[in-house]
Amino acid sequence: MKKLLAILIALILALGIYTPAFAEMELPDEPHPAMPVIIVQPVGGQVNLNENYKLSVEAHIPNGDEIGYRWYCNGEPMGQQAREWTSYRTRTTADYHVVVYNRTNPEYSVTSETVRVEVYRTLEERMTDIMWNSWGWLIFLAYAGPIIFIIAPLYMLFTSPVVIARLIAELIHWIFE
């Protein structure tokens, strides 16, 4: 990068397009050799409810120092401190990123891109969610109301031990009259 800027400045000077702004321009510094470099960013994706999902990052430090990792879920630090992180029994959609840092010089760190892991639910799981919210019960009663309010009392009437005993007593009384 420095070489490219130096060539550009030399070309501008040679063509006579020199301005005072070029004299004050500073060349950018090369990254510090202790600064981690992320080679492969984590990749988000989709996972079914309660399935595992693995995220990983690949990085190195030019001077060979030891690398450390800190994973974050929705901005909150997680316990995992390794290159790979596996979400076990994933329940909710979340955003993840990792901070890769130099263990020898922790002030040198770099943050990965934020990736999203989306959790999909099966139809049965979504129906269960609907059943447990307030509108779900209303919908359930609209469809299942006739079954609950007509058949269920009849079922309870004829399966109650007291009712069955009374029916048997009436039957015996009727037979032996």
Q: pLDDT for 73-122, tens place per residue?
A: 999 998 778 889 887 777 888 999 999 999 998 899 999 999 999 988 77
Strands (E), 8-164: 37-40, 45-48, 53-56, 58-60, 67-73, 76-77, 84-87, 94-102, 109-111, 115-120
Q: What is the pLDDT of residue 148?
A: 62
> How confident is residue 169, by pLDDT bands cut at 50, 70 and 90?
confident
Q: What is the pLDDT of residue 114?
A: 96
Can you tell me the distance from the alpha carbon of 38 to that of 60, in angstroms, rounded to the nearest whole number? 7
> How confident is residue 68, by pLDDT bands cut at 50, 70 and 90?
very high
> Are the beta carbons of 18 and 12 closer than 8 angstroms?
yes
